[in-house]
Amino acid sequence: MQEKLNRLKEILGVVADLNGAAALLDWDQQTYMPPGGVNNRGYQMATLESMAHSKFVSDEVGTLLEELKPYGESLDPESDDACLIEVTQREYQKSVKVPNAYVAEWSRVTTLAHGAWEEARKNDDFAHFQPHLEKIVELRRQYADFFKPYDHVYDPLLDDFEPGMTTAEVQEIFTSMRPKQVELIKAIAEQPQVDDSFLHLHYEEEGQWEFGETAITKYGYDWNHGRQDKAAHPFTTNFGLGDVRITTRVDENFLNTALFGTLHEAGHAIYEQGVAGELDRTPLGKGASLAIHESQSRMYENLLGRSYDFWVHFYPQLQERFKTQLGNVDLDAFYQGINKVEPSLIRVEADEATYNLHIMLRLELEIALMEGKLAVSDLPSAWNDRMKDYLGVIPPNDTEGVLQDVHWSAGILGYFPTYALGNLVSNQLWEKINQDIPGLSAQIQAGNFTELLAWLWENVHRHGAKFKPQHLVKKVVGTSISPEPYLKYLNEKFGAIYGL
């Protein structure tokens, strides 16, 4: 059996290499590629991704998995090899249902769509992006049909990012959370608003960039195995565990954009850099799910980056870099300013209390698109209507509205719920971390993240995709994904800031 397992790993390594090469081309498109290269890039991506798909769904892989199944069941169920056989079997069973021609077409369509989205966003021209998004929605419906019967057309899309979770489960969680978050936001709105005007001054790009790099270096981001570049929408990507890259964007007139974007993406990257090396070039060499991934990015962005403890250490350094802007702003005022709760237009810049409402809005729109109840042409108005209903604000243009996120241009429908689920998981993990590391607060104030990173590596990062998300959460904290710690955190934090 060892010979068969080695052969399977050999094939999986080739698939991983092809996917890594495609990811490198995608990174280049979003960072340095000239706009005129998009058509060639579409064909290149289609070639690589269809080759990877064909290799993975080959008869040889199917036969090897069938022959290895009894062997895998005889092993410790948490061993690397048992998990590899199980996870690969699951991914194979999904992938084999998708025709190779569809994979090639999908890759080409989304590559072209990304270029169209960038131009549409730049020029506030949804009509330029609309036909691309219509094709993407059409292809996503076709994709869902490959997995009939299903309980809901959105289920196959969600399962790609959150294995085992259903649309009904997500809707149930969101339905239970929404009124409690709305109640908190209303209570905050009745209190005197904190001042964050100092965040909206001019902050030169170089200083923002250097401070962000200083902070994530302290976090533990390994520059020997990564780099940071600029992109229209921040993202993290990897071409193997030895090369995990992040991007950010800078607004010289708003400090939060690059600051918290950089901290967020570093959370994703540190997770990927922490996956055990022996899982590299296999289906296990990645995060357990996007909710677990977002739990790490939201933890580094919010539970650390927006905490008072974090700024005890870092604020003097930031003040020194921006004396004119922050010299007369004390730590307490800065802490309150970066945690100001106010309904806003841009999801990635939203405060913690209102953030999930941005996610719920997108989930409802995606479901309506997939169900055929909402036409793509009506998406901008539907977006604006829900922004008004959920947050009481209306985007002045589509660039700050329906075009603000990169996800739909990449065909990533089914992803957005994982952001909110990640918020829940991050707080469940945070409670457990503070139980296991009673001196954590003092360590953070000293700029020491060593023990925290070691805890995350041991309990989350090193496992990669060995375990389904609910299994992993239950394994670490003893319960499945739950909103209660998150809601408790929000009420305690903002109750203190706003005197509720």
Give the catalytic positions in this structure.
265
- Using CA atoms, how far apart are residues 390 and 397, in angstroms rounded to an integer? 18
Beta-ladder partners of 248: 230
CA distance 416 to 109: 21
Whole-angstrom CA distances from 384 to 137, 291, 377, 388, 401 are: 20, 27, 13, 6, 7
CA-derived radius of gyration, the chain: 22
Strand (E) or helix (H) holding 244: strand 244-248
Q: Which two tokens stand for residue 389?
A: 């209903």
Strand partners, 244: 238
Q: Specify the residue for token string 């590629």.
A: 33
What does DSSP say about strands 228-230 and 244-248: parallel, antiparallel, or unpaired? parallel
Contact 129, 115 (CB under 8 A): no
Among 224, 253, 241, smallest CA distance to 281 is for: 241
The CA–CA distances, whole Å, from 139 to 14, 110, 150, 180 equal 27, 10, 17, 36
Q: Which residues contact 259 (CB under 8 A, 6 or more apart)?
A: 208, 211, 212, 305
26 phi/psi in degrees, rounded to 5: -65, -45
Please calculate the CA angle 55-162-60 and round it to the nearest 5 degrees: 20
Residue type, 186: K
Distance CA 271, CA 453 (A): 10
Q: Is 353 within 8 Å of 188 (Cβ atoms)?
A: yes
Give the Cα separation of 139 and 137 in Å (integer): 5
Distance CA 288, CA 434 (A): 22
Alpha-helical (H) ranges within 96-196 are 100-123, 126-145, 155-161, 167-189
Coil, helix or strand at residue 247? strand
